[in-house]
Structure 1
Amino acid sequence: MSTGRDYPPSASADKEEIIELVNHIKELGGYYFTHWRRTGLRIAGSARPNKLEGIVEALEIALETGVKTEISHLTSGFEIYPENPEMDRHASEITLEVIDSYVEKGADVAFDVIPGVSGGICINPYLASYFTPWIKQSGSLDQFITNLKAKDYRNKLVKLLRDGEWYPLSGKSDPWWQNKIFITKSESECYIGKSINDIAIEKNMEPVEAVMQLLLEEPFIMIRRNGKSEEEFKTLLKHDRASVCTDTYAFDLVGLYGNDAEIAELLPHPHTYCAFPKYILQYGMDTIEETIWKITGFPADFMNIEGRGKVLENNYADLVVLDMDSLKTNENYIEPRVYPEGIEYVVVNGQLVLDKKGCTGIRAGKVLKKQ
């Protein structure tokens, strides 16, 4: 059973209702997975809840029901503004201490961590992507930019953003948003690598005004957005109950988003293609064996999936051959639909599904069932 505590309908349930439901799957030897309450409902005007309380709720459900519980995409339980590596690391350490305290009481809990500062799922590739509803209302990006030139239209939009009424750029939900959005591609090289806040300071504007000015100057200016610090997730990944996740969909090099659109609202996140090589190369454990264990062996053991996750005699032959000398992520936020390099062969259930030429076309996958 899974819940998404930041989304309808799970956001409306109280803890007691979830406990009652989880108790039903206990009888069947089931598991409880939770996208814990981290951001709150992602709607206009909403403020962030207490993150640590969201983690503790998941831990209490695990303890009270006795059901194995997986906490999805763990971050620290604290908001640190402005970003401070030492404080971010300490916040993660305290979060892990809270988890350990519940494990000592008997809660059987694990968690996964996204190996990067920019989250998962998909990305907004253009600054204008954040304004897709207004672009659609205007009929085109060009007409939206024309509308922005009208002072009354622009002022109304600025007020809406300033008041926190548009979630993606809301100071209520993220007081540090202007420091997390960086320019990746621009006709003006002086903008590349700078945050919205950097540019706002240079222009002597508040951040929302700077956003409007950038759109007027260059409608197709491209961005990336960071969500957390490296110290935060590096600390979490070291825990013995941590595994690695991509938090993305399975896209090919085309994807479903951004096709036949004047400007892409969303594109696949680069982690769709490179999350695991990135983890191995940049955030791995002390040995390659420990590093791979967090991707394969630990999740399989926690889920009681026999014959998977380890290279052993009589196990299923699920194998990846890496060339560590040529392994590269090719992580790209301008065009994220790029495969990594250095993954030479992939074997699934004993059949070769990927070789140096690419996918072989063999579909050897099976449904994984708990033993």
Structure 2
Amino acid sequence: MQATVDLVVRGGTVFDGTGANGREMDVAIHQGRVVQIAARITDRGTEEIDARGLAVAPGFIDIHSHGDSSLREDPRAESAIRQGVTTIVVGADGSSRFTGDAGDSYAEWATRTAGYKASVNVASMIGLGTVRGKVIGEVDRKATAAELTRMTAMVARAVEQGACGASTGLEYTPGAFASRDELIALCKPLAAPRLPYATHMRNEDDELLEAIDESIAVARGAGCPLQISHLKMQGTRNWPKFESSIARIGAARAAGMDAWFDVYPYVAYATGLTNLFPVWARDGGTPAFLARLDSAATAQRIRTEALGKVELIGGWDNVQISRVSAAEDRDAEGKRLGAWAKARGVDPYEGAVGLLKRNRADVGMLGFAMSEENLDRLLAHEFGMVCSDGGAFAIDGPTRRGSPHPRGAGTFPRVLGRYVRERKALSLASAINRMTARPASRVHLKDRGVLAPRMAGDVVVFDPATVADTATFANPFQYPVGIRAVVVNGRVTIRDGQHLAAAGQVLRAT
């Protein structure tokens, strides 16, 4: 019988992404689109996938990804696509690869990124920290009226061209120097298209509740939706703030705000080592920060505040070095800072300062500070969705470097294996909804996230009985198991462990 469609996925349990229970169905895809879903499709496919005994779902959408950082080097995006992720939403934490300014627009970024021919679809927010850095620089001062007008126009231009929201990283510079009024002004272009303000809040530990209040105030002032990025309660003494955090978000929703959050399924976060040091010390950029570490006027105050942050997360052995830039410090990668410093015979704080100096402050770290019980509740909560907050890397080639957070290779299978199958924190249908339809709707990718006729042909086929992450903090360069096939825009990209195609597109919010 002659093939009449490009691909048929046969006999799997189809979860359409809406949260509905799975049904045994066939899925036909032609010219990049789903054309039929039925109990039995008689058309033959040029290619067919036997999905009997397996789950079939929309391709996973990572609503908070840093996978764009390596696409030019390695467009395969192996650690993302092998999780079943077919779309990454980048421009997170206030940092995007375009400013929205003339000559550096979203449209120009989209053209450049399309040229990489990536294996995953890519959509991007505009980073408000990047915008501030372009217009004001790394200094802690109020924006002038003219600067505010220019920055707001940059955001508006990006949104008009297809950016799917705006993000902040308020624990990072220069975003940390933005006032609430500045953030409200820059988010106003999001109001009419109903695109989200996605915020890495100003604080995620002792001042968590105040930071949530500020986030709500910004979204309310701008009249736009709110997306709280990677919600967490950091540090043992802050773990009991789960209920108060959710209550604040719930109250905002009850008052009419379109407010949600995302979360990754790990008890450790990833950031720069500079994040252990006070924001005020980083005013003026790296040279000024490094000078203050030695200045008689500031060194002791910096030390006191940094040690307080380390104590909050449980000590230096809860800090793991993930990345350095100086060859002489490669031995630190993957090591707990306390143990590494002890082996070198140095005080841990002095060891950290030495790393920052030798690497010009370019040092990555993981911090082990969150509660597994809170993760259960966050992942299952009706206001939440799943993100990785991770990069894209591979077990071979130029992106195998350092000791990255395993979330970059394991997030989505980890939710399905550990939190659905083992811990039973949420159902399989609910987990899939948090990875597909919810994030697609959030950033206005209106032909993604749901398996239905006329929707994009992004599909993942996996085994619910075996799907699991294998990447660990000790060995992050390991791909998950149980992901049988991944289809991007109608092309089979991953099948039985083989990477076969690159069919990703740059997506625009609609």
What range is the shorter-chain TM-score in? 0.5 to 0.7
| Counterparts of 1:55 and 1:5, CA distance in 2 | 12
- Tell me, yes or no, if the aligned pair for 1:37 and 1:49 is still in contact at 8 Å: no
Distance 1:307 1:95, change over 3 A: same
1:56 aligns with 2:213: yes
- Tell me, yes or no, if the aligned pair for 2:267 and 2:372 is still in contact at 8 Å: yes
* Amino acid of the structure 2 residue aligned with 1:15: R
Counterpart in the other structure of 1:43: none
Counterpart in the other structure of 1:229: 371
* Amino acid of the structure 2 residue aligned with 1:64: G
Gaps of 5+ in 2: 1-165, 274-293, 322-334, 352-364
Distance 1:311 1:120, change over 3 A: farther
Counterpart in the other structure of 2:247: 97
Q: Which secondary structure does the structure 1 equivalent of 2:268 belong to?
A: coil
- Tell me, yes or no, if the aligned pair for 2:196 and 2:442 is still in contact at 8 Å: no
1:117 aligns with 2:246: no
Counterpart in the other structure of 1:177: 315
Number of residue pairs aligned between Structure 1 and Structure 2: 286
Q: Which secondary structure does the structure 1 equivalent of 2:487 belong to?
A: strand
| Counterparts of 2:408 and 2:397, CA distance in 1 | 10
| Counterparts of 1:234 and 1:166, CA distance in 2 | 34
Taking the TM superposition and a 5 Å limit, the aligned residue runs for 1:89-238 are 90-120=240-270, 165=303, 170-175=306-311, 176-178=314-316, 180=318, 212-216=341-345, 225-238=367-380
1:283 aligns with 2:419: yes
The answer to which structure, 1 or 2, has the higher relative contact order (CA under 8 A, 6+ apart) is: 2
Q: What is the TM-score with the length of structure 1 in the denominator? A: 0.68
Counterpart in the other structure of 1:17: 182
Query: CA offsets per residue over residues 258-289 of structure 1, 9 Å max, x none?
Result: 75xxxxxx422111111111111122353211
- Tell me, yes or no, if the aligned pair for 1:257 and 1:267 is still in contact at 8 Å: no
| Counterparts of 2:267 and 2:457, CA distance in 1 | 33
| Counterparts of 2:270 and 2:419, CA distance in 1 | 16
Query: CA offsets per residue over residues 172-204 of structure 1, 9 Å max, x none?
Result: 213122463589xxxxxxxxxxx98xxxxxxxx
Distance 1:271 1:318, change over 3 A: same
Give 1:339 deviation, angstroms. 0.6
- Tell me, yes or no, if the aligned pair for 2:393 and 2:399 is still in contact at 8 Å: no
Q: Which secondary structure does the structure 2 equivalent of 1:235 belong to?
A: helix
Q: Which secondary structure does the structure 2 equivalent of 1:92 belong to?
A: helix
| Counterparts of 1:258 and 1:351, CA distance in 2 | 26
Q: Percent identity?
A: 27
| Counterparts of 2:192 and 2:344, CA distance in 1 | 56
Counterpart in the other structure of 1:311: 451
Give 1:213 deviation, angstroms. 3.3
Q: Which secondary structure does the structure 2 equivalent of 1:172 belong to?
A: helix
Distance 1:256 1:33, change over 3 A: farther
- Tell me, yes or no, if the aligned pair for 2:236 and 2:370 is still in contact at 8 Å: no
Selected match of 1:80 from 196, 218, 236: 236
Counterpart in the other structure of 2:480: 340
| Counterparts of 1:341 and 1:272, CA distance in 2 | 15
Counterpart in the other structure of 2:462: 322
- Tell me, yes or no, if the aligned pair for 1:38 and 1:50 is still in contact at 8 Å: yes
Distance 1:65 1:267, change over 3 A: same
Counterpart in the other structure of 1:272: 408
Q: Which secondary structure does the structure 1 equivalent of 2:509 belong to?
A: coil
Higher relative strand content? 2
Taking the TM superposition and a 5 Å limit, the aligned residue runs for 1:251-266 are 251-254=393-396, 259=401, 266=402
| Counterparts of 1:161 and 1:232, CA distance in 2 | 36
Gaps of 5+ in 1: 40-47, 82-86, 124-155, 184-194, 197-206, 260-265
Distance 1:18 1:161, change over 3 A: closer
| Counterparts of 2:387 and 2:194, CA distance in 1 | 24
Q: Which secondary structure does the structure 2 equivalent of 1:243 belong to?
A: strand
Larger mean CA deviation between 7-16 and 306-315 belongs to 306-315
* Amino acid of the structure 2 residue aligned with 1:351: R
Counterpart in the other structure of 1:135: none
Counterpart in the other structure of 1:134: none
| Counterparts of 1:166 and 1:337, CA distance in 2 | 36
Distance 1:342 1:161, change over 3 A: farther
Which consecutive aligned stretches of 4+ in structure 1 deviate over 3 angstroms post-superposition? 27-30, 78-81, 120-123, 160-164, 210-217, 254-259
Query: CA offsets per residue over residues 17-74 of structure 1, 9 Å max, x none?
Result: 11111113324544311111126xxxxxxxx761211111111111222211211111
Give 1:301 deviation, angstroms. 1.8
Counterpart in the other structure of 1:38: 203
| Counterparts of 1:120 and 1:303, CA distance in 2 | 24
Distance 1:163 1:212, change over 3 A: farther
Distance 1:257 1:358, change over 3 A: closer
- Tell me, yes or no, if the aligned pair for 1:120 and 1:246 is still in contact at 8 Å: no
Q: Which secondary structure does the structure 2 equivalent of 1:293 belong to?
A: helix
Q: Which secondary structure does the structure 2 equivalent of 1:353 belong to?
A: strand
Query: CA offsets per residue over residues 95-133 of structure 1, 9 Å max, x none?
Result: 10111011111221111111111124699xxxxxxxxxx
Distance 1:292 1:253, change over 3 A: same
Q: Which secondary structure does the structure 2 equivalent of 1:283 belong to?
A: helix
Selected match of 2:507 from 349, 368, 371: 368
Q: What is the TM-score with the length of structure 2 in the denominator? A: 0.50
Counterpart in the other structure of 2:173: 8
Distance 1:301 1:16, change over 3 A: same
